[in-house]
Structure 1
Amino acid sequence: MCIWYEREGEKEKNLLLQQQQEIQQIKKVLGLKLNACIEILDHLSVSNIRSEKGGNEPFRVTNKAT
């Protein structure tokens, strides 16, 4: 009976570890997507400001997800 509990505990640990790894991968992907969105917005901001201001120094979005 004790061996069964140890095996079940090991399965739970492995499942939790797998879930934590999946969460880390999801966070990494979301961070990359967020950075891509920020770069797109930055590009659009620069384009819009340049067209409105006639080439003045553009405002840039610089915060990146880590």
Structure 2
Amino acid sequence: MAVPPLSAEIRLLTAAFSLTGVIIAALLSRFARRPRRTFVRTTVALTVLSPLWTGGDGRPTSA
């Protein structure tokens, strides 16, 4: 039986991935020729690939 994540864990992961997005956006605005387009493509690619990290069933994979 899976244990549901605690609300503190959800907040921590949300903050961590939000910060990651801000860092990606800052790097792209500095180094990309077309930062908006590159950011959208990067975001879409990471969203499409995200099921690989969860195993395709919505639950995180364990090590």
Q: Which has the higher contact order (CA 8 A, sep 6+)?
A: 1
TM-score between both structures, scaled by the size of structure 2: 0.48
> Greater helix percent: which structure?
1
TM-score between both structures, scaled by the size of structure 1: 0.46
Q: Name the larger-Rg structure.
A: 1
